[in-house]
Amino acid sequence: MPNADLVLDDLSRSAYRAALGGFATGIAVVLAPVEDHAIGMTVNSFTSVSLDPPLVLWCLGDKSDRGVHFRPAPGFVVNILGADQRDIADRCAKRGRYRFEMDELDHSHPGLPALPVALTRLWCDAYDQITLGDHIAMVGRVQAFDHKGGDGLTYFSGGYGRALFARD
């Protein structure tokens, strides 16, 4: 029977992270409006939760320096990145480089600026926040979306990759 009280030491934590890295995921940048700019965060923890109502979820580390912006935000935009957008993923993964000026963003949905180009963009109202371990599951109710075809940016085993877009 598994130990419900398992605590990972630093060595085990590193091995556990490497094991989880064996699952390929897509890459998204989540944006939240903050006064006269927006804050971005690269995530690979994005998933659809429900079609009715349309709910999505992504995870925010409870010690993230961006939590002060995302937790009180009335909404956010999930921008699912294309394979050619690694520079945006890198920008929003690093401390101090994740601020976007308003003239860099698309304002087609007032109050929720989005990246001008992404494979998919989901404009969400904040729906729920659930603390789970050392993360907060940020749940959004999708109010609008757009989508275009193309190869997706992926993350696998510590590096970027490409999900090929192909239709039969």
Dihedral in degrees, nearest 10, Cα atoms 112, 115, 121, 126 = -30
pLDDT for res 10: 66
Token pair belonging to 153: 């940016």
Question: What would the CATH number be for the domain defined by 25-155?
Answer: 2.30.110.10
HSE on the CB side for 161, CA within 13 Å? 16
Token pair belonging to 79: 């921008």
Predicted structure pTM score: 0.88
User: For the segment 48-89, what is each residue's pLDDT rounded down to a tens digit?
Assistant: 999 999 999 999 999 999 999 999 999 999 999 999 999 999
Please compute the mean of the pLDDT values over residues 15-44 and round it to a whole number.
Answer: 86
Lowest average pLDDT, out of 1-5, 17-21, 57-61, 140-144, goes to 1-5
Q: Where are the domains of the chain?
A: 25-155
In terms of pLDDT, which residue wins out, 38 or 165? 38
What CA–CA distance (Å, rounded) separates 124 from 74?
A: 9
Confidence of residue 149 (pLDDT cuts 50, 70, 90): confident
9 pLDDT above the threshold of 90: no
H or E stretch at 162 = strand 159-163
